[in-house]
Amino acid sequence: MPIYLDNNASTPLDPRVLQIMLDIQKKYFGNPASVLHSWGWQAEEIVNIAREKVASPLGAPASSIIFTSGATESINLAIQGLRNKSPKRMIASAIEHKAVLDTLRYMETLGFEVVQIGVNNLGELDLDQLESALKTPTLLASIILANNEIGTLQDIKTISQLCQRHNCLLHLDIVQAYSKMVLDFSSTKVDLASFNAHKIYGPKGIGALYIHPDLSGELTPIIWGGGHERGLRSGTLNVPAIAGFGEAAALMVRECEEVTLSIRQLTTRFSKLIRESFPSSCLNGHPAKRVIGNLNIQVPGIDAAQMAGRLAEKVAISTSSACMGAKSSHVLDAIGLSAEEIRSTFRVGIGRFNTPEEIELAAKEISDAINKLS
């Protein structure tokens, strides 16, 4: 298999997480909604413990977490869940994930006005534009904390203050940042936040929506049925996946310092190797305010998609977000890159299971592939 450097698309399952999931799948098959016997109670207890662990990196109470099938569903619930509220106006940055952009497009069909806020050439939100947009009464602002393509981190404290000042709810897409950096929702007011397990070495198909206690009871569900998750998300809970999510979050918190250090060292080394091979290469996104492990590199003159395709058996990288497929990146477009610059850009996502040897070899393979193409 190729060396895996696409950790912004998804991460490998931590073997310790897998072990817990297997044990639970085998031994605790009860339905947490079964209230009349111990099979149900045990399953419910597993879910309760996981809920605490998932809430902990946000400095939030367990009761603020709703489990979903992934961040896409969480985002849909956060945005569509407000469809019966007013004012009928929502704001988002131009560099949101498609899950946000497409959901907002749907909200337009329901009569909502949707306003996009631009970013500068490093991917930072234009705060003046945001403030002026907020002068018109707005229900929700949806902002991606760490961009999945260029890694740029937004100034959440200021964004939160602006939203509060203008009485606008704030939804954050924290998928790429969750448990990789300190987030304290007890000191920074965030109303809603969407995230998942598969970007933190947990399983796919499980995510969560954080809901501020003040907003409890205010959302309208998008999935109806047995009234699970306080009536907000019906459907039998996926207990092994939820336990895996909790364990993955707990491991990230416990091992944060050493993992961060290792990923930083590997990322610095990889950047250095690419810059030595291609002095004209540059990094897209913010040079410092970026999520760990993400590199979005432009090597002038290359066809990055062709290069990534040629490399596919040796190194796994991407040209934009996994959800964009072969489509051109709206994120790179929003930071002002030309079509030619977008064509010569590739994304590398370094994760906790990458080794120094892999980094040396991957940088060499990428350099060789580029040299062969030019």
Q: Which residues bind ligand PLP (CB under 6 A)?
A: 70-72, 97, 99, 144, 148, 173, 175-176, 196, 207, 322-323
Strand, helix or coil at 125?
A: strand
What's the burial of 280, exposed, middle or buried (CB within 10 Å: 0-12/13-18/19+)?
exposed
Q: CA 301 to CA 306: how far, in whole Å?
A: 12
User: Minimum Å distance from CB 281 to ligand PLP?
Assistant: 24
Helices (DSSP H) in the chain: which residue ranges? Answer: 15-27, 38-55, 71-80, 98-109, 127-134, 156-165, 239-254, 256-277, 304-311, 330-334, 339-343, 356-373
Burial of 334-347, coded b for 16+ CB within 10 Å and e otherwise, reads bbebeeebbbbbbb
Residue nearest to ligand PLP as judged by C-beta position: 70
Name the token pair of 163.
């939203």
Which residue's CB is nearer to ligand PLP, number 98 or number 269? 98
User: Minimum Å distance from CB 331 to ligand PLP?
Assistant: 10
Q: Which of 316, 310, 323 is nearest to 349 (CA)?
A: 316
Q: CA 217 to CA 223: how far, in whole Å?
A: 15
User: Minimum Å distance from CB 294 to ligand PLP?
Assistant: 11
Question: Using alpha carbons only, what angle is made at residue 148 by residues 285 and 314, rounded to the nearest 5 degrees?
Answer: 95
Which residue's CB is nearer to ligand PLP, number 95 or number 297? 95
Catalytic residue among 163, 168, 282, 323: 323
- Secondary element (H or E) of residue 126: none
User: Minimum Å distance from CB 370 to ligand PLP?
Assistant: 26
Neighbours of 45 (CB within 10 A): 13
Which residue's CB is nearer to ligand PLP, number 172 or number 250? 172
User: Minimum Å distance from CB 150 to ligand PLP?
Assistant: 11
Neighbours of 372 (CB within 10 A): 9
User: Is there a catalytic annotation at residue 323?
Assistant: yes
User: Minimum Å distance from CB 374 to ligand PLP?
Assistant: 31
Phi-psi region of 336 (alpha: psi -120 to 50; beta: other; left: phi over 0): left
Which residue's CB is nearer to ligand PLP, number 71 or number 363? 71
Name the token pair of 333.
């477009």
Asked whether 193 and 144 are in contact (CB, 8 A), the reply is no
Asked whether 204 and 197 are in contact (CB, 8 A), the reply is yes
Which residue's CB is nearer to ligand PLP, number 70 or number 123? 70
Which residue's CB is nearer to ligand PLP, number 112 or number 178? 178
DSSP string, 302-315: --HHHHHHHHTTTE
User: Minimum Å distance from CB 338 to ligand PLP?
Assistant: 24
Which residue's CB is nearer to ligand PLP, number 32 or number 349? 349
**Catalytic positions:** 323
